[in-house]
Amino acid sequence: MKSPVTGAHAAARANNSPHVSTAKRGPARTPRPAMPETRLTRLVEARWFRGLVIAMIIANAIILGLLTSKNIRAAGDGMVGQVLLILDTIALAFFVGEITLKAAAYRLRFFRDPWNWFDLAVVAVAFVPATDSLKVLRALRVLRVLRLVAAIPAMRLVVSGLFRALPGMGSAALLLLLIHYVFAVIGVQLYSGTQYGGYGTDGYDYFGDLGRAFYTLFQIMTLESWSHGIVRPIMEVHPSSWVYFTLFVVISAFAALNLFIGILVNAMDSAKDEQESQMSAEEVADPAQLAILEELHAIRSELAELKQATSATPTDSAP
């Protein structure tokens, strides 16, 4: 793999440096990449190898799903279940081999990529002893399916955009919490103390206290049975309550939701732009292209020297 930052800076220096003599500069040299390619790096970065990893992840996900069915495991006097367990073990051995190859190819760079840490943790869960106290950790082996996120660049872009959006989404969530708190306090003051219909045999006080008010408003925000289940029974007692609920739905369910979507889309656009810039830098960082830039720079310098020498030579006067 090549370092995009180093290559981009090298290319920029090659294009922007002054045209000086090759005698002063010395012969053009091809810059060495940050990490030379080896057979292992070419292997783990090969398209067919990545396709094989994706196919193995999908196959292992199907196997884990089939193992959850008691009928399938018991088919053929338990032979099907044994075969599925063997296939799961083969898939695990393949993942261990894949991670070992990557670690040998990238060496210390392997541990600088958080996706490699994720792959390592997900595969390591399978080696947890199958005891009753650690049964939950053993169940987490299905997380191997999430390795598709690390294997498919488009999915990695989505996850990167999601992580980028977390700070902005945290601010939006705090704003939404404040809106819920204000409406919850108002709802307790206006509509508490009455058993409204729509829930239970004797009715239910949706705004009996602050906790109930929070949960009621959350259900209304999700638009789940909010009209017939909550609002209309309250309107039978408080006809003007529609103003309160309509205002809350517009602010929370529509405005706040669109705010979350806007933050997420903006973050994904930023992640996509960064990925495209890194891809452009990787193209510039290719050793062959850097060598061509150096050769062109040397040719320009030689042409400039030849032009200066020609202009400095006195022309013969006519007879």
| pLDDT for position 211 | 92
Q: One digit per residue, pLDDT tens: the chain, 319 residues?
A: 444 444 444 444 444 444 433 444 444 444 444 455 678 888 888 889 888 988 888 888 898 888 888 888 888 888 988 999 899 889 889 989 988 988 888 888 888 888 788 888 888 877 777 666 666 666 677 777 777 777 777 777 777 777 778 877 888 888 889 999 999 999 999 999 888 887 767 788 999 999 999 999 999 998 888 888 899 999 999 999 999 999 999 988 888 778 888 888 887 777 777 766 655 544 444 555 666 767 787 888 888 888 888 876 655 544 4
- Region(s) of the chain under CATH 1.10.287.70: 160-267
| pLDDT for position 278 | 58
Q: Token pair for residue 122?
A: 């997900």
Residue 76's alpha-carbon distances to 65, 67, 87, in angstroms, are 18, 14, 16
Q: What is the pTM of this model?
A: 0.53
DSSP letter string, 105-169:
HHGGGGGG-HHHHHHHHHHHGGGS---STTHHHHHGGGGGGGHHHHH-HHHHHHHHHHHHHHHHH
d(CA 259, CA 253): 10
Q: Give start and end residues of each alpha helix (H) in the chain.
A: 4-16, 22-25, 39-44, 47-66, 70-74, 79-106, 114-124, 135-139, 147-151, 153-191, 210-221, 226, 232-237, 241-248, 257-284, 287-312
Q: How many CB atoms lie within 10 A of CB 42?
A: 11
Q: Which residues contact 267 (CB under 8 A, 6 or more apart)?
A: 161, 162, 164, 165, 168
Smallest CA-to-CA distance from 74 within 84, 65, 64, 63 is with 84
Residue 174's alpha-carbon distances to 167, 223, 247, 254, 264, in angstroms, are 11, 20, 19, 16, 16
Domain 160-267: give its CATH code.
1.10.287.70
Side-chain half-sphere exposure of 34, counting CA atoms within 13 A: 16
d(CA 189, CA 78): 63
Smallest CA-to-CA distance from 252 within 189, 179, 314 is with 179
CATH architecture of 34-150: Up-down Bundle (1.20)
DSSP 8-class letter at 10 = H
